[in-house]
Structure 1
């Protein structure tokens, strides 16, 4: 897959360029979380304006009985630490994206990855909806603003957003959006929704 710059991106270099007028842009750390095989690595890769950092390893027979691959049987690799990417949403707003590992045995890393994060995206798959419960609970317990993004896989049953909201028992103020994280614009809309939610939560807490 090619990782071309996003529409509003500046340079594709890893350094943070100055904002117009010479000031430094606002940077924010965002987590991309969810269950095993839900599309976290795909989302970071589809939207990052730099070549994303990945820590994937090939699934082997050692994971049998450990990783639940039901519904994602064609998955051959898994993230063992994190994914990392960057997107410039506006000239003065840069998001650093950290994709969390999905398997339970790597959840101990979430606390480290969550340090300094201002918000999160919880990816959900209607075929394995319960897999996103731990991420939802984690961010609710920490008071981290988050949005739920339902990744619409090919061949998966289409669900109404309201039905998914009820199934996840989400509070009314938590945004829920349908998306296809393989598409850059769709992933970008998820992040825009997340940023707007973070700002709204900050305003509400004042």
Structure 2
């Protein structure tokens, strides 16, 4: 199976209205470098047909966008991805996927506004692309979890090795996921919700 992180079509879904039991909605952003699978994750987990702003990559990006490791990628997000998932009968998450190329990072500030937390999606083939992403989240003061997307040809590292490479404190969750799978992407979001709850209830431990 060809694993192109954001080229997989999202399953068709109807636009379901929110249930009457929903009492809380939370904004979450999914961030990461170019081609790590942000659009794929939003499409895989969203209860509704996701909104995407993917455009075909052109020669204009040559020498500007770093496509090393993702040469087969033909489209790119130029604004944002948007989806929605119901965690339970009362809680709904609104998901915003950010564009990965550095030239679109000026959009991130607006997407971070009002967000409760973030998922940092990363590719171990291009781990260095995550440093600036995490730095921006830390500057913004936005809590986050790190999800390692499982690409078949990516080098294998232990989660502790990844934590050390990214210089993450012990309390920040790091886990492996498959952004193509709904259950795996949902587990990432549940991990973020548990982390945010732990921060809210025991802030002195964070």
Pairs within 5 Å for 1:93-108: 93-108=91-106
Tell me the alpha carbon deviations over residues 98-144 of structure 1, each in whole angstroms, 9 at most, x when there is no partner. Answer: 00001011100111001100000000100000111122111111221
Partner of 2:127: 129
- Contact 1:152/1:158 (8 A) holds in 2: no
Partner of 2:176: 178
Partner of 2:11: 3
Pairs within 5 Å for 1:81-96: 81-96=79-94
Partner of 1:69: 67
Q: Secondary structure at the match of 2:148?
A: strand
Partner of 2:18: 16
- Contact 1:3/1:47 (8 A) holds in 2: no
TM-score, with structure 2 as normaliser:
0.91
Unaligned runs of 5+ in 2: 1-8
Pairs within 5 Å for 1:17-166: 17-19=19-21, 24-166=22-164
CA distance in 2, matches of 1:127, 1:145: 24
**Structure 1 residue 80 displacement after superposition:** 0.2
CA distance in 2, matches of 1:43, 1:104: 20
Q: Secondary structure at the match of 1:137?
A: helix
Unaligned runs of 5+ in 1: 6-11
TM-score, with structure 1 as normaliser:
0.91
CA distance in 2, matches of 1:135, 1:198: 19
CA distance in 2, matches of 1:65, 1:14: 42
- Contact 2:10/2:40 (8 A) holds in 1: no
**Structure 1 residue 14 displacement after superposition:** 4.8
Tell me the alpha carbon deviations over residues 66-103 of structure 1, each in whole angstroms, 9 at most, x when there is no partner. Answer: 00000000000000000000000101010000000010
CA distance in 1, matches of 2:10, 2:132: 32
CA distance in 2, matches of 1:153, 1:30: 23
Q: Secondary structure at the match of 1:117?
A: coil
